[in-house]
Amino acid sequence: MSDKKPPEHAPMEQFPVEDNCLQIGGRPLTAIASEMGTTPFYAYDGAVMAAQVEKLRRELPAGLHLHYAMKANPMPAVVAHLAGLTDGLDVASAGELRIALATGTAPRSISFAGPGKSDEDLRLAVDAGVIINMESEGEMQRVAALATATGRTPPVAIRVNPDFELKAAGMKMGSGAKPFGVDAERVPAMLRALGELPLEFVGFHIFSGSQNLRPEAIVEAQASTFELAYRLAADAPRAVTWLNIGGGLGVPYFPGEQRLDLAPIAAGLRGLLAEAAEKLPGAEIVMELGRYLTAEAGAYVCQVVDRKESRGEVFLITNGGLHHHLAASGNFGQVIRKNYPLCLGNRVRAPEMEEVSVVGPLCTPLDILGAKMRLPRAAPGDLVVVYQSGAYGFSASPRGFLSHPEPREIFLPPA
């Protein structure tokens, strides 16, 4: 036995505690639960999102444009809130595009990425005048055909599959063989073809990965991103006016993970933006962030249905689980299952703690929200809260699996 202490979750302080009850959006969780009239639900705190954006604005260089990548949380109220705080929105489907347009965001501040855009998707994008991040030569020809048919000249960027890798990213989305973007080495030929088509070239979209908690790796990938953009710009039919450098900023989910230190990233970006001002004069530099803006602001709330013991272990069986929150169950791309941070929202601290496993109602051993965690001793009716649930929760879960009731969502605007 080693006496090394097991790693702990980063402190969760985004929701204050009053009278031993978690406060979300300035209101006691118990009051929110009564108003909802039912559990489980997701609650999103608009003030916490605003604080994340403010932190980025304070630390990162002023010239950088911040976009919200909607797939992290497409709830219309969340998108409308973030549309008002950021400089634009990134969408990845026609459904997201409709939500984005409904916020009144200028079409030029919306970009549409995603492999496999259908002709209907592209038609909507061309009609709306949003920037289309083209993911292949074939997609470029289909956009051009729509341009000819509609008499429009749609703004387009090329999504590049970079020839470098974002090290230590939770999810690598660039380098090697990928369905995303056009391999960097094929982009020069594509740019020459683009020059002959009725398309308005604006620039490049280079996204190398996501959920990164290592500043050095992010700084390095960003430097490589700008280098690649400069190289590719040499073959562009006109000046690059828009460069989306991706995002990748992670949030702490699991024991041992810490919040990202923005200082080194800010320092790196200051140098890179200064250089870009000379090499791509006038170009708008966009950073697109999903989870960094919403994850910390969201809580998933379910209720204990049963407390039982099995061969010396305690199980809290709740009415929520994998079907509502796939990521917290460990089944959304994780290789090794680890616990999200949890608490009892109506009894945050208690004299009596116990080790429990929090599971859902599904008939599968995969339905785990927390394995062997220390929580206050719980009883049926208590509210189990899963922190860090504002991104890739509701919309990223198989809600039809086992036909249990759907969770609800509530957005709590800042006071």
Ligand X SMILES: *Cc1c(COP(=O)(O)O)cnc(C)c1O
Q: Which two tokens mark 375?
A: 């929580």
Tell me how far, at minimum, the Cβ of 274 lies from ligand X, in Å. 24
Query: φ, ψ for residue 59 (rounded to 5)?
Result: -95, -40
Q: State in angstroms the smallest separation of the CB of 291 from ligand X.
A: 4
Report the residue closest to ligand X, judged by CB. Answer: 290
Q: How far apart are CA 315 and CA 362, in angstroms?
A: 14
The set of residues, in sequence order, having a beta carbon less than 8 Å from that of 299 and lying 6+ positions away, is 15, 22, 24, 29, 42, 43, 45, 345, 385, 386, 387, 389, 390
Least distance CB 380 / ligand X (angstroms):
35
CB nearer to ligand X: pick between 14 and 52: 52
Asked whether 82 and 53 are in contact (CB, 8 A), the reply is yes
Residue matched to tokens 């949030």: 251
Phi/psi of residue 179, nearest 5 degrees:
-80, -5
Tell me whether the omega of the peptide bond preceding residue 40 falls within 30 degrees of 0, making it cis.
yes
Phi, psi of 284 (to 5 degrees): -80, 125
207 vs 394 by CB, closer to ligand X: 207
Tokens of 367: 């339905």
Q: How far apart are CA 385 and CA 49, in angstroms?
A: 18
Measured CA to CA, the distance from residue 158 to residue 235 in angstroms comes to 12
Name the strand (E) or helix (H) holding 27.
strand 27-28
Which runs of E-coded beta strand occur in 145-261?
155-161, 171-172, 182-183, 200-205, 209-210, 242-244
Q: What residues make contact with ligand X under the rule CB under 6 A?
A: 69, 71-72, 90, 113, 207, 210-211, 246-247, 288-292, 391
Query: How far is it, in rounded angstroms, from Cα 219 to Cα 265?
Result: 6
Of 370 and 390, which has the nearer Cβ to ligand X? 390
Q: Which residue lies nearer to ligand X by CB, 213 or 384?
A: 213
The Cα–Cα gap between 155 and 288 comes to 18
